[in-house]
Amino acid sequence: MKFIKLLIICFVLPTITSCSSSNQAKNIVENYLTAIDSFNFKKAEELIVPNPENLKMIEHIKTFSNKMTEAERENHINTKKVYSYKETDVTDNSAKVIVTNTQENFPVYVEFYLIKEKDKWLIDKIESNL
């Protein structure tokens, strides 16, 4: 029995841990999009590098959302979003996550470039086909 526990500790747990850490960049992007889609800008700002480009992008989204009626905002929040995520170029300190959304009339592709600062993934740059 002790041998089985030792096997689990030595081989299974490191595998699970390494798999989950490789998905952390993707999880940050998922959390960011969830925050943006629910107009939770404070949460979105916690997930980005606070550089001028990122802050300006969030400010534009805030401005746009403030022009929406309450019904439009509720409709946007309640409409299920379907995103596809692909992690690429993952290193110890950087990653790229490509997100695709094909719900509208044309597909939207967004590339998120992440960096790791103090053991925490943050979105450093966002590029889109829009």
pLDDT, mean of each 10-residue run, the chain (130 residues): 38 38 82 93 95 94 92 88 89 93 79 93 89
Per-residue model confidence (pLDDT) at position 23: 63
3-class state of residue 122 by DSSP: strand
3-class state of residue 109 by DSSP: strand
**Cα 95 from chain centre:** 11
Within 10 A of 7 (CB to CB), how many other CB atoms are there? 10
DSSP state, residue 47? T
Per-residue model confidence (pLDDT) at position 124: 96
Structural domains in the chain plus CATH codes: 2-128 (3.10.450.100)
Number of H helices, E strands in the chain: 6, 4
